[in-house]
């Protein structure tokens, strides 16, 4: 099914029926009766079963916290909830309310211990959950509290962490001045700690903030590069290659902003190598798209095409359905530039079947491919479809080397005169 929202709702329906004790066979039968193909129904039910199992496992953890709270084991409540607010655990949750309920219990338990370090930890955890829920203002309040408790206890690590959390939240809110100020303070505190890994991470996050700020102030690019280079040097010194993928991608983007495209490519290709090794498929998609853009700017069609081939190859491993029209359109363009006309035509046709928003541009690309192949009638018919769908860049048509092949055909002249008048 193409509508991901509908699929998500159906999976939720399956989970609710499973909690009510409904048999799997009965649920599948009901979905088929609603007109959903049997193979799709089976996949939806299997996804529902997976979610159902995850939720049951999560509920066991929450029950453990409830028992610890009843037993007044305050420190254990706080430490257990700290584990349950890891990003990997939160990503599995379909509803954060139960987690927030237990975190309120953990905050109460932390107050009962009177330990500012445990209070800082719990406030930080609460802030992360509010961030996940999109409640940025409440997250800021929690992170400020985490910093304050860290300061009260003299715990430099929680001071640095609290400021880091504040910075990333401000960045999400596009308050870049506040984000830079908070993260610069975090870096200065991190320099006092005997924890070079945390320092490298803090500097890398400062680079992230500067990179986002570059969207408003391009003069900030040089500072962005300087910060990332320091973080990368530290990570390399610590032999922490796994931490380098994102800094490599981001500093590459910064170099591209100032026209240093070869440096940009070198860094992003390093990032791609690490992400392949880590099997970070979603991160790989981002890096491959970035490097394709740079290769395109460099007119390096060979490497641009190679990057797009890698991207298309990921469709068997992860869902990149929403990206495929863009990726295949670009690949079709490079196939055409390499003289691989049939492959170009094939890709354009696949994209047209997906009914993209810019279908007129895709028809134009297909017309170019037919023209390059000297299939003039197909080229003209396809160009007519492009014009009917709204393509109106007649200057581009006039200058196009492939379209020039069909310009002398009377049908082309008729088309142009017809649509230019419009």
The CATH classification number of 322-422 equals 1.25.40
Distance CA 347, CA 336 (A): 10
The mean pLDDT value for 308-322 works out to: 84
Mean per-residue pLDDT over the chain, rounded: 90
Place of tokens 């193909």: 37
Highest mean pLDDT among 140-144, 318-322, 392-396: 140-144
- Find, among 273, 182, 287, 191, the residue nearest to 234 by Cα: 191
Distance CA 148, CA 146 (A): 5
191-201 pLDDT per residue, tens: 999 899 999 99
Say which DSSP state 96 is in.
Answer: S
User: Residue ranges per domain, the chain?
Assistant: 1-71, 322-422
Percent with pLDDT over 70 in the chain: 95
User: What was the pLDDT predicted at 87?
Assistant: 67
Contact 90, 132 (CB under 8 A): yes
32-62 pLDDT per residue, tens: 888 787 887 888 888 888 878 877 776 787 8
Contact 206, 223 (CB under 8 A): no
User: What was the pLDDT predicted at 93?
Assistant: 61
User: What was the pLDDT predicted at 92?
Assistant: 57
Instruction: Using the predicted structure, report yes or no on whether residue 365 has a pLDDT greater than 70.
Output: yes
Angle at which helices 301-313 and 281-297 cross, to 10°: 160
Would you give the distance in Å from CA 80 to the centre of its chain? Answer: 29
The mean pLDDT value for 277-291 works out to: 89
Instruction: Using the predicted structure, report yes or no on whether residue 218 has a pLDDT greater than 60.
Output: yes
Length of the chain: 422
- Residue 234 has which token pair? 């530290």
Distance CA 204, CA 227 (A): 7
User: What was the pLDDT predicted at 90?
Assistant: 65
The mean pLDDT value for 201-229 works out to: 92
Distance CA 327, CA 374 (A): 25
- Residue 126 has which token pair? 């609460």
50-101 pLDDT per residue, tens: 878 877 776 787 889 999 999 999 999 999 998 888 765 665 565 678 889 9
Give me the phi and psi of 391, to 5 degrees please.
Answer: -65, 130
User: What was the pLDDT predicted at 3?
Assistant: 44
User: What was the pLDDT predicted at 273?
Assistant: 94
Say which DSSP state 93 is in.
Answer: -
Q: 251 or 355: which carries more pLDDT confidence?
A: 251
- Find, among 267, 269, 194, 278, the residue nearest to 225 by Cα: 267
* Predicted structure pTM score: 0.74
How would DSSP label each residue in 179-200?
HHHHHHHHHHHHHHSS-HHHHH
């Amino acid at each position: 099914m193409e509508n991901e929202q509908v699929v998500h709702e159906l999976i939720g329906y399956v989970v609710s029926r499973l909690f009510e004790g409904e048999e799997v066979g009965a649920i599948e039968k009901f979905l088929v009766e609603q007109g959903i193909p049997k193979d799709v129904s089976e996949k939806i039910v299997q996804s529902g079963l997976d979610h159902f199992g995850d939720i049951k496992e999560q509920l066991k953890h929450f029950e453990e916290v409830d028992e610890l709270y009843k037993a007044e084991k305050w420190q254990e409540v706080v430490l257990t909830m700290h584990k349950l607010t890891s990003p990997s655990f939160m990503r599995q949750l379909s509803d954060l309310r139960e987690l927030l309920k237990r975190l309120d219990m953990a905050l109460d338990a932390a107050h009962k211990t009177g330990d500012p370090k445990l209070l800082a930890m719990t406030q930080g955890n609460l802030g992360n959950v509010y961030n996940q829920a999109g409640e940025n203002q409440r997250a800021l309040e929690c992170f400020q509290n985490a910093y304050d408790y860290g300061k009260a206890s003299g715990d430099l690590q929680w001071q640095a962490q609290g400021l880091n959390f504040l910075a990333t939240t401000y960045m999400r809110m596009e308050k870049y001045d506040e984000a830079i100020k908070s993260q610069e303070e975090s870096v200065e505190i991190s320099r006092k700690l005997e924890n070079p890994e945390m320092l490298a991470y803090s500097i890398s996050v400062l680079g992230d903030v500067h990179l986002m700020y570059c969207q408003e102030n391009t003069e900030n690019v040089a500072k962005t590069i300087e910060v990332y280079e320091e973080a990368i040097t530290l990570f390399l010194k610590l032999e922490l290659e796994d931490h380098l993928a994102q800094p490599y991608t981001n500093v590459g983007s910064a170099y591209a902003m100032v026209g240093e495209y070869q440096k940009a490519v070198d860094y992003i290709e390093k990032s791609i190598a690490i992400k392949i090794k880590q099997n970070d498929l979603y991160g790989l998609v981002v890096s491959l798209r970035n490097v394709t853009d740079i290769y395109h700017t460099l007119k390096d069609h060979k490497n641009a095409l190679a990057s797009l081939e890698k991207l298309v190859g990921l469709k068997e491993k992860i869902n990149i359905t929403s990206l495929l029209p863009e990726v295949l359109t670009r690949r079709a363009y490079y196939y055409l530039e390499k003289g691989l006309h049939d492959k170009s035509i094939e890709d354009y046709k696949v994209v047209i079947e997906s009914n993209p928003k810019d279908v007129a541009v895709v028809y134009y690309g297909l017309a170019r491919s037919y023209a390059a192949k000297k299939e003039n009638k197909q080229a003209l018919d396809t160009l007519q479809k492009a014009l009917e769908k709204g393509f109106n860049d007649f200057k581009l048509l006039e200058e196009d080397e492939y379209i020039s092949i069909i310009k002398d055909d009377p049908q082309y002249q008729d088309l142009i005169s017809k649509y230019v008048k419009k």
